[in-house]
Amino acid sequence: MIIDKLYDRVKDNGHVCVGLDTDMAYIPENFRQKFIFPEDALFRFNQKIIDATFDKVACYKIQIAYYEALGLTGLTVYKKIIEYIKELGCIVISDIKRGDIANTAKMYAKAHFEGDFETDFITLNPYMGMDTIKPYLSYVRNDEKGIFTLVRTSNEGAKDIEYISSIDSKRVYEIVSDKVETLGKEYLGQCGYSSIGGVIGCTHVDEALKLRNNMKTTFFLIPGYGAQGGTADDVALYLKDGNGGVVNSSRGILLAYKRHENILHFEDYSRQAVINMRDDILNAVKKLKDK
C-alpha cells in the first residue's frame, strides 16, 4: 500500500513534507525576469526547490488553489509538478480538501486519482459526513492511493466547530477522529498504519497524547510547524516510535532565501531549511524518547 512507501520515506529521510504553496510573489524578481511567461518561472522555481530537497524529504504537498488561481496555465504547471516529483520516485500529496457526496465525489476521485492530475494522496474534508469519503475508497483498496482527512486543523477558527462538545461531552474532532481510525483499519499497510490518514495540526498540543493513543493506526499529516507557531517538541508528541507522521512546511522553506542577502541560488537556502527542520524534529523525537 502507498502508506508503506510513505512510512519508509520517513524512516530513511525524516519527517519533512515540503509544501509547494507557491505564490508568484514568492519567486525572486531576478529569477522571474529570465522567463517570458510567468507560468514557466513558476514551474522552474518549484523544480529547483524539488531538485535541491528531494533526497532529504519524506514527500511534497501541493496546494492546488495556488495553481487554480492562475487558470488553465496554472493547472498545467500543477500537472507538470506532480509528474516531475513522481519521476524522481517521490510521493505527492495533493491538497485539494474536497468534501462532497455521491456522484460529485466520484468525479473528484476520478479527477485526482486518474488522468492529468493523478497523484498519490489527496486531502478530504469529512465534516459533511463520512459518506464524503466512500467514493474514494476503491482507489485506496485497488490502486495504491491514499487519503488524509481533516480531523483537527491548525487554524485558530478550528475552535468554532471542531471543538464544540457533543451530548456525550466529546468534541466534534474527537468524534471524527474515532470514525477515521475505525474506517482506516480496513486499509492497513505492512507498516501498521492505514492509507487513510488524518490531518492533525500541531498548534493545539494539549490533546496530543490522547489523539495519538486513540488513533494508533492513523498516519498524520501535521501542519502548523514554524510560521503558524508549532515547534519540533510539539510535533514529537504526535509521532510514535519516530514515525507515524509527516510535518508540512511551506513558507519556511520556499522563502528561506529571504533571510539572506545573496538570493541567486535560492534553492540552496531551501535545502538548508529542510535539513534544519529535519534535524530539529529528529532531535525532539530523541529527546522525548530519552525522557
Instruction: Return the ∠ at Cα 226 (arms to 63 and 273), rounded to 5°.
Output: 85
Q: CA-CA distance, 3 to 190, in Å (whole number)?
A: 9
Beta-ladder partners of 94: 62, 122
E strand map for 51-138? 59-63, 92-98, 121-124
| Residue from 92, 156, 158, 103 nearest 125 by CA | 158
DSSP state of 219: P
Beta-ladder partners of 230: 225
| Residue from 50, 55, 48 nearest 18 by CA | 50
Q: Are 54 and 84 in contact (CB under 8 A)?
A: no
**Cβ-proximal residues to 5 (8 Å cutoff; 6+ apart), any chain:** 91
**Cβ-proximal residues to 14 (8 Å cutoff; 6+ apart), any chain:** 56, 57, 58, 278, 279, 281, 282
Beta-ladder partners of 2: none
Tell me the Ramachandran region of residue 241: left when phi exceeds 0, alpha when psi lies from -120 to 50, beta otherwise: left
Catalytic position from the list 97, 106, 179, 216? 97
Helices 71-87 & 38-53, crossing angle to 10 degrees? 20
Q: How far is CA 280 from CA 14, 146, 164, in A?
A: 10, 27, 33
Active site residue 61: no
Give the cell for residue 81: 509538478
Active site residues: 97
